[in-house]
Structure formats: structure tokens, C-alpha cells
Amino acid sequence: MANVHLQPSYVLHHRPYRDTSRILELFTRDHGRVSVFARGARGGSKSNSSLLSILQPFNRLLVSWSGRGEAGQLTGAEFDGAMMPLPPDRLVHGFYLNELLLKLFARHDSHPDVFALYSQTLDQLKREDPIRPLRLFEKRLLDAIGYGLALERDARDHEPIDPDASYHYRMEQGPVRIEGVAEGTVVYSGATLLSLGREELSDAAVCADARRLLRAALDRCLEGRELRTRQVMLALRKGK
């Protein structure tokens, strides 16, 4: 039987189980995605109520569990440092990160680099405008799972990207310069490709262009699986 003690973790998702328990989907530093049962976490006692308040998304935790197989048994949880909650208007962005991790990672597939990236991005969402941190998270996540974007050279002639040129992006190859643009063709400016490659993204128009490219790249990885949080963010943008 495996016993894991004080593992740095985040709760990605939780759902009720039977009368008083919950099933937690954790993203851990050393064990990747892990499912654990938190028995009695929804009970009426003061200690159970305190545990439930800790076991919430976006809290950096130290979690202990035991067991083998698909799901373990939670044996303890505590805050890992001071707790700083996400502002209410950033919650949807945090859940977007969680949904990407839930749909792109299998259980028990360790990615300590992505854990550090996720932690860093949450900290940025608490302190600054969300647009740039979200785009950089998407870019670096693609790099980590082996689907990183080629952003420096033309895939056809291997010439350096021209910031003043327009490019079509072929997901299997990379950017290809185009001269005439047919109606309906999705194109990206060379300036956007270079800015994303350098992780600058200091311009709002470049960020918007990068969002389209990153979404297309992530859609390829998701293989048709929808992201609910995208629909929520779209509705929020339309409502403004």
C-alpha cells in the first residue's frame, strides 16, 4: 500500500460521494493527477467543515493519502503557506486552467514543470491582468506535452519569420508565408508569431491574435472535447 505524505497539491475538481464524502481530483507535484476519497468531508462536525474549507480549488495544499490503484484515501490536508484567494472575476480563468489539466493529462503522469507553471500562473492571476498569463500558460503547456509551436522560421523555406509578413499556420509543420489571402483563410502576422515565441505579448492586438493560434493548437490536442469554461468566458465577454 502506498503512503504519500505532505505532497504539494491543488484541487482541480471535487464532487460528492455518497452521503458525507467527496472525490477529489488533485494535481500534485510528484504524482501528477490523482483521485482521492475524502471520507466524511461533508459531515456536520466542526473539523469536517474546516477540512472542506481547505479542500477548495486554487488553494496550494500539502496533501497526504494512502492506498493503491485508481483512487487513494485522503489522510490529511493543510495549507502550504499563506492563502491568497483568486479574485471573483478571475475564478473562471482559474477553472479554465483546471479544465485543461483534467482533459490533457492522464492520471499518475508526473509533470513537475507543469505543476510549477500552474502555481506561477495562479499567482499571476491574483495580481495582474489575466490575458498575458493565460496565453503564456497555454504556450508553455503545449511545449510541455510535446506539441510546442514552431515560431521562428518559415516551415517551407526555413527563412526567419518576417514581422511584416502574413502566415498561415499548419499544425503539422509550422508557419508558411502567404502573399494573397483567400476569403476565410486564417492568417497570423509575423509580428504575432515572433512576439509569442519570445513570450513578450505586450500588445493587446498581438495577444488576441496569439489567442486564436493557441486555441487552434489546443483544439488539436483536445481531439474534439469541448471546454465548458471557454463558453463561460465567451458569454462574459459578450455581456460586457
Which amino acid, residue 234? Answer: L
Q: Per-residue pLDDT tens for 75-100?
A: 999 999 878 889 999 999 999 999 99
Q: Is the dihedral of CA 85, 89, 90, 92 positive or negative?
A: positive
Cβ partners under 8 Å of residue 3, min gap 6: 64, 65, 66, 75
Residue 240 has what pLDDT?
Answer: 55
Compute the radius of gyration of the chain from its Cα atoms. Answer: 21
Residue 47 has what pLDDT?
Answer: 54
- End-to-end Cα spacing for the chain: 52
* Banded pLDDT at 183 (limits 50, 70, 90): low
Query: From CA 27, how far away is CA 57, in angstroms rounded?
Result: 10
The number of helix segments (H) and strand segments (E) in the chain equals 7, 8
Phi, psi of 149 (to 5 degrees): -90, 140
Residue 48 has what pLDDT?
Answer: 53
Query: From CA 40, how far away is CA 81, in angstroms rounded?
Result: 25
Q: Per-residue pLDDT tens for 29-55?
A: 999 999 999 887 655 555 555 777 899
171 three-class SS: coil
CB 169 within 8 A of CB 212: no
- In terms of DSSP H, where are the helices of 33-164? 46-54, 91-104, 112-127, 131-144
Average pLDDT, the chain: 89
Query: From CA 97, how far away is CA 164, in angstroms rounded?
Result: 33
Q: Which CATH superfamily is domain 88-239 in?
A: Recombination protein O, C-terminal domain (1.20.1440.120)
Q: Per-residue pLDDT tens for 129-182?
A: 999 999 999 999 999 999 999 999 999 999 999 999 999 999 999 999 998 765
CB 105 within 8 A of CB 96: no
Query: From CA 59, how far away is CA 114, in angstroms rounded?
Result: 16
CB 189 within 8 A of CB 210: no
Q: Where are the domains of the chain?
A: 2-79, 88-239
Domain 2-79 belongs to what topology? Answer: OB fold (Dihydrolipoamide Acetyltransferase, E2P) (2.40.50)
Which amino acid, residue 174? Answer: G
pLDDT at 70 over 90: no
pLDDT at 106 over 70: yes
